[in-house]
Chains A and B, each alone.
Chain A
């Protein structure tokens, strides 16, 4: 991974930029090695190997600012690159708010890059034969190629992939900050395409992504993908109207993403946020609590510092419906005259909740099935198909697929339907949030239940 010599390249960029007239410099060096093995219908279909190395420079020159990157790291070329970058920054407009973060806000505990336990050194000894064998373990094609007609379907194709990635990044600035973050990712993926007896096609996929190779679950990937494809056979439309909606944890982050975008100070300062003037106010339902648990060891998404080098901390973003935090970087803090926080979210976690009853996750598990029982009748959304949320108004419209359910039990699949509304109103109609967020997900958003959602068909 990143060597002392490569660290010195980043440091040299800083000293060279300062000697060319920069007032402040941050360098971000990234090195990434990745391999993937794709299996199509039980046979190896694609092998890819990649090795990347690049450096990003953030230059502050006489109240001016620019960002630059290159993967050409030879000393002479880099010096020329830095010199040209400084010349360009001098041409830009002055903005005194462009500054490095104050040193006391930067992280001091990200020294080795291994502190969070996200790096598995076993990847270094994993050879091509092992990765191919791992990919082949994912395939259940031989078991599926025939004999399923009686079950009402036949397999068209199975694609699965095993990948492993090692990512190492080193950030250093001209005020003395040094931080390193290392992580490995071992990924499995399977996608099944089937057809029913009428020739209608359906696809389903499943995946897992974990930092430790030993935690990889090879057994359930193909079966889950198949189950998800088969479950969609025989869809019917449900009449347009307002229904209770359950959103599966596997796709629930889609409804949190617009909130986090709107909480970013860059959006707010540019008047492109429906959460402007919301800090400290109760905007969402009483039971909604969204945390940023950035420093949880061993969990995907955790990190000790943000892109500016500012130390992360575990904190509330929304607490019992009250907006507690905007994401404010150094530039926006100075521009807006507010206190800086962190540049953006690391590992958002939505706390469990049932309307009228506060739950502690340690006390009670709340599954997708529990939510369906709670909701009684409605539509379970298992996938989103396109759509958007207006960043200024919060008005959204998304395509969905999933299942109608009655008395807590699935009755039939639905598709070609849409949900439409306003994202703030939607979250104010939160009935419940489960405890079933997937262990391996970066965003810990469990299955969700909402009341009174407008469906079109």
Chain B
């Protein structure tokens, strides 16, 4: 297996050692090499025809040198020894003429199992084998609602061969698949137009493509469209918000996940940087960032620093108990890295990033949670979100939901932004449902670099958030 990866990148172990030696020639504390060969493939169906598609190849090696917490980074788009040595020398510049450093970077254990074995390798499938699926999916969607005037289907996959080597002598390698399908339907009713999308994305092979996926997507993309035509903008202001199970995990991602990333805390910039060991949520609330869910979009056998994936409790019983660490922050805090050192590709140095972020189930009945709200809003479909790390102010955009009046769901609502403050929102959690659901849509996080993530949540009641409205 090891030789397979060495052959993909046309390097020997001796060369790896030489590169590390060169990169540390100016006195760095730690060095790692990240080799990547990724093939991307995509197909697009519009107007009933799969009339565009393509594939893309990316290949290279990133070389990082750490001196204390300082980073030198360079890369080469080929693995000719001369070019890799040039990149190693460029990265080594960080250690030149600086007395700082002397930090210890610790060895990590090995991973025990493959979280995403491919039954069918995407690379072995040609484009024509996916066309029937896309055409049938288009028919399945169109046949579900006569108001549909357009269907757009995107199918994409990627397979990455990754090999990592570092100055501690750790050599790790793996192959990471990703498959995604997104369906968008446009509906017309009288002079009104509405659109709705549904997506699924998993770290798995081409066995993802099949009738079960087709039915899920076709059902979901037409569900709730009647309500969308009838939806209103609520009166804006502060109110109780019930977050529906599943995609509401975006709240955790924005309200606290980013603020728990250890780089922001190491620099003192996060609103949570002085909250370690303190209560940040009510008792009984557990919030997790997990890299070990089989086939999940955010999972990793290893992170992009060669650290095995793990399930990290950020909040246990309401108490903040861990930040999300890469090797730099782990060394700075004197703890083990948590497997959150991730990067978009070999062109970027790794930084702390989330994986699958979710809250564990509580014991409340979801219907009872809604029934407990006199006036408020229930939200269950989202698109984008954002956060200001220092201030803790976060937002997320709600694509659909309902008003809650006297404990009952009433008028549908859509296209509203919700804003809150992270620490306040967490302490304002009033009830946690028993229905945790992980959302498997095409979530992508864009903190300087894009990485695939996922999120999840049980039904949760927050006593006060600010809702946009007329």
Instruction: List A residues at the B interface (Cβ < 8 Å).
Output: 40, 43-53, 64-72, 81, 84-85, 87-89, 91-95, 98, 128, 156-157, 159, 193, 200-203, 232, 240, 270-272, 385-388, 390-393, 395-399, 401, 415-421, 454-457
Contacts and interface: CB of A to CB of B under 8 A. Distances in A.
A90 to B, nearest CB: 9
Question: Nearest 8 CB-CB pairs, A to B?
Answer: A456-B236, A386-B395, A386-B386, A418-B468, A93-B49, A201-B390, A397-B417, A399-B395
B100 interface: yes
Interface in B140-154: 149-150, 152
Interface in B380-419: 383-386, 388-397, 414-419
Interface in B30-67: 43, 46, 49-60
Nearest to A419: B468
B390 A71 contact: no
A397 B386 CA distance: 13
Contact of A44 (B58, B70, B386, B396): B70
Nearest to B129: A91
B71 interface: yes
Nearest to B192: A393
Given A70-B56, A387-B384, 18 more contacts: A45-B69, A45-B71, A48-B73, A70-B57, A93-B49, A157-B267, A193-B390, A201-B391, A270-B152, A386-B396, A386-B397, A399-B386, A418-B416, A418-B417, A420-B469, A421-B470, A456-B469, A457-B236
B269 A399 contact: no
25 contacts: A46-B70, A52-B347, A69-B54, A92-B51, A92-B127, A92-B131, A193-B390, A201-B392, A203-B391, A270-B46, A270-B150, A270-B186, A385-B388, A385-B419, A386-B419, A392-B194, A399-B386, A401-B393, A415-B391, A416-B419, A416-B421, A418-B468, A419-B468, A420-B417, A454-B469
Given A46-B72, A92-B51, A72 B57 contact: yes
B55 A88 contact: yes
Contacts of A66: 52-54
A70 B347 CA distance: 15
Contacts of B236: 240, 418, 420, 454-457
A385 B422 CA distance: 14
B397 A44 contact: no
A418 B56 contact: no
Contact of A88 (B76, B126, B388, B417): B126
B15 interface: no
B469 A68 contact: no
B77 A399 contact: no
B94 interface: yes
A365 B126 CA distance: 60
B224 interface: no
Contacts of B58: 70-71
B466 interface: yes
A272 B196 CA distance: 11
B210 interface: no
A91 B129 CA distance: 9
Nearest to A235: B391
Interface string B421-459: 100000000000000000000000000000000000000
B193 interface: yes
B50 A388 contact: no
Contacts of A401: 388, 393
Contact of B417 (A44, A386, A391): A386
